[in-house]
Chain A
Amino acid sequence: MSEMQKPSGGAGGVRGDSDDAGRPAVGSSAASRPGSQGEGAAGGAGRGDPSSAAVELRGVRKAYVEPDGSVLPVLDIERFVLARGEQVVLLGASGCGKTTLLNVISGITSADAGQVRVDGVDLARLPEAARDRFRADRIGMVFQTFNLLPAFTALENVLLGMSFSGRRADVREARRLLERVGLGRRLEHRPGQLSVGEQQRVAVARALVKRPAVLLADEPTASVDVANQQRILDLLRDVCREHDVALLLVTHSPEVAAQFERVERLESFNRAVAPAGATR
C-alpha cells in the first residue's frame, strides 16, 4: 500500500491547475490554485464563495465492514481538488472505490474521517439532513442507467431536480435545458417512451437544472452505443462549461478519457487500494 502514497499527494491540485489555465471559461483560476488558500477561506466559506474549489478532499478515509466482520478500507485520500468549472475524468479498476468516492462527495455516504468540501462547505461536519439539503442545492448526479422516475414525464423528471431544494421550480429553465439537450419535443414523454440515450440526456438536464457547483457522473455513457456515447459526452461537457459547473466523470472507456485534459486514476491518489481490490 505504501508505494501508492507517492503519487497521491497533491496530484489533483497540481494537474488541475495546469489544465485549467488553457480554458477561459474557468477563468477564475484563483479558485483552483493552491489548496492552502482554499483551506484558509474554507472555514466560513459558504455557497458560491469564488475563492473555494468546487470539490476539495483532505485526509478522507472510508472503510466498509464486510459481512464476515473484517474491515475493508476503500478510500484513503490525502488530498483531491476539483476547481470550479473544471472537468476531470476518473479512471480505476473495478472495485477500487470510484463510486464510493462520488458518494462521499455527494454526501450520500459519509466519510469515516477527513474533510469533504464542496463549494466551500465541509459536508463531513454537516448532519445528514443538512447534507441532503446541500446536495439538493449544489450537487448534480448522473448514473449509468435508470436515472429517471418512471411515473414522471421528462419535464417532470427535470423539475424533480429542483424539487427538494426548497427553491421554486422553474419550468421555463427546465424546458430550456430539455431543448438544449435536444428533447424539446419529448417533454411529456415518460421514461418508458424514451430511448436509453434520450433518458440519459434527460438525466443530464435534470442534474444541471439546479445550477450545481459540481456534476458527478458515474459511467453515464456505459449503456449506450458509441454514437450516443459521444453525443451525451459532448452534451455533458458543453452544458457544464456553459453553466460553469465542475464535472467529475467516472468511466472505463479509454476513448472517453482521452478527450479530457485532466485524467485521474483513483489508484494514483488513493492509498487504500488493497490487493483485494486490485484483483477485481
Chain B
Amino acid sequence: MNVFHIAYKSLKQRALASSLTGLSVALGIALMVTVLVLHATMTRMFSQSASGYDLIVGPKGSKLQLVLNTIYRVSQPIENLPYRYYQQLRRDPRVEVAIPFALGDVTQQGGFPIVGTTPEYFTVEYVPGRRFRGNGPNLSRPFDAIIGSLVARRNGWNKGDQISLVHGGVADDVHDQKFTVVSVLEPTGTPNDKTVFVHIEGFWRLAGHEKPLDEAIERYRQFFGEDPRPEELGLATATGRPERGESAEQRAEHDGHGAGHGDDGEQGEQGEQREQREQGEHGEHGEHGEHGPIPDIQKEVTAVLVRVRSMTLVPQIEAEINEGVQAQAVNPIREIRWLLENIVGNVRTLSVVLTALIVIVSGISILVSIYNSMSERRREIAIMRALGASRRTVFGIILAESTLLCFGGGLAGVVLGHGMVFAAAPIIEARSGYLVDPFAFDWVELILLPALLLLATLVGFLPGVTAYRTDVAKALAE
C-alpha cells in the first residue's frame, strides 16, 4: 500500500465531503475549459476569415464596425458609398480584385444576414488557397441567391427554394420580391456559412434600397466634387448607353455560370437585352413596389473588399483612400488582430482569471475539508506513525489526498467542460452563427496540469504540516 492508496482510502472514508470538494474543482475547471474552447473557436474563426482581403473600403466611421459588418456580418452598417466610388476602385490598375458588398437585410426565416454581391466573390479565393464550393451554379440572374451551409442546414433550404428578405432587420418589413436559391455552399468554418448571398443587382432593386434621387445627387457632389454625368442619372431601359454596359454587375451577370473568366465583358447590348427579359419575367413585382434596374446614381455599396496586386502597394492605397474625407480603407487583419488582442484577448484573460478564482475557491474548500478532518484523524496519523510511518510519509499522505482531489476533480472538469461545449454547440451556433468545435484545444489547457499540481500542493500544505507535527505519544494517549 503506497501513499496514494492510503490517501484514496481515507478520501473514500469521507466520501460525501470528498466528492463535494472534488465536484467544486471539477466545475471550476469545466468553466475554465469552456471559456478556453469558446475562445479558441472564436480566435480561429476571426483570424481565418479576415485574411482573404488586403483592404476593406467603406464610408468613414468606425474601422472596427466596418470590419465586423463586412467580414463577420454582425452589427448594422451605418452608411454607404456611391456606386461610382466602387467603379473607380475597380478600375485602379493596382487593384487585383474589388468586390462590392451591399448589406443591411436579413432573411425572414432565421434572421441570417444578407449580402448583396457580384458573382466574382465566388470565383476568387475567400482566404488564401481556398475557394467556395457549392452544389449549384454561380449567381447569374438578379434574384438568385447562394446560401451558406449553416443557413441551409438550419432553415432546411436547398436549391430551388424561394426565400424572403426582411428590410433592414425590421421584423415586419418583408420585401415582396423573393429570391431563388441556386446553390448551397460547402461549410467553410467562416461567417460565410451563416450568410445568404444575393445578386447585388437584385439587392438594389428591392424597395427602399435605392437612394432617393435628390439625396443621391447631393451626396455625389460632396463625394466627387462635380455633377453626375447624364448617363449615371438615366435609366438603362430606353437608351443604349455604353457606360451602362460596362458596369461590373452586368458583366458579372453574363459571366454568371462560367464563374470567373476574365472581365472583358464588352457586351453591353446583350446585357441589356437580358435585363429587359428579366424585367418582363418579374414585371409583376413592380406593382408591389419593387423596381427594375435603377440608375447608377442611386446605387450604393456598403463596402468593397479589395485585393491589391502587390502587398507593397497596400499602405499606399490605404493612405490615399484615407486622405479623402468620405471613405476609409481598413486593413482587416490589423483590425482583427487589434480586436483579438485588446477586446477578445482581454475578455478571455478576464474569464480565465475569474474561472481560475473559482478553481482557487474550490481549492480552498479542499483545504477546509481536509483540515477539518485532521482533528478527528490525529489518532489515525499517530497509529500510522506507530506503525513506522515517518513524518514525511504522513505529510505525503495528506498531500496525496489534496492531489487526488485536485486531479480527479480537474480531470472530471476537463471532460465536463468539453462535454458542456459539446452540448451547447448547437445552441451557440443557432444564436451566433459561429461554428463551435467542442474539442478545440487551447494550449492553456496544458498548464492546467502543473497548475493543479501547484494548487494541490498549496492546499495540502497546511493540513500536511498538521499531520507532520502530530505529537504521536499525545495522540496515542487520547
Contact = CB atoms under 8 A, between A and B. Distances in A.
Are A and B genuine complex partners?
A: yes
Interface of A: 99-100, 103, 106, 108-109, 128-129, 132-137, 139, 141, 143, 146-152, 156, 159-161, 163-165, 169, 206
Contacts of A132: 385, 388-391, 393
B384 A149 contact: yes
A160 B1 contact: yes
B10 interface: yes
B387 A164 contact: yes
Interface of B: 1-2, 6, 9-10, 12-13, 379-380, 383-393, 472-473, 476-477
Contacts of B6: 160, 163
A151 B13 contact: yes
Given A108-B385, A132-B393, 16 more contacts: A99-B473, A106-B386, A108-B472, A132-B385, A132-B388, A139-B388, A143-B386, A143-B476, A150-B13, A151-B12, A151-B13, A156-B9, A160-B387, A164-B384, A164-B389, A164-B390
Nearest to A164: B388
A147 B473 CA distance: 14
A129 B391 CA distance: 8
A95 to B, nearest CB: 11
Contacts of B2: 163
Contacts of A152: 9
6 contacts: A133-B390, A135-B386, A136-B387, A151-B9, A156-B1, A160-B6
B473 A108 contact: yes
B382 to A, nearest CB: 9
Given A99-B477, A128-B391, A147 B383 contact: yes
Contacts of A169: 1
A168 to B, nearest CB: 11
Nearest to A142: B386
A126 to B, nearest CB: 12
B221 to A, nearest CB: 89
B390 A141 contact: no
Nearest to A136: B388
Contacts of A151: 9-10, 12-13
A235 B131 CA distance: 87
Contacts of A135: 386-388
Given A150-B380, A152-B9, A159-B1, A103 B388 contact: no
A233 B392 CA distance: 35
B8 to A, nearest CB: 9
B369 to A, nearest CB: 15
| Closest 10 A/B residue pairs (Cβ) | A136-B388, A151-B13, A164-B388, A132-B390, A151-B9, A135-B388, A164-B389, A163-B1, A108-B472, A103-B473
Nearest to A132: B390
Contacts of B389: 132, 136, 163-164
A206 B6 CA distance: 16
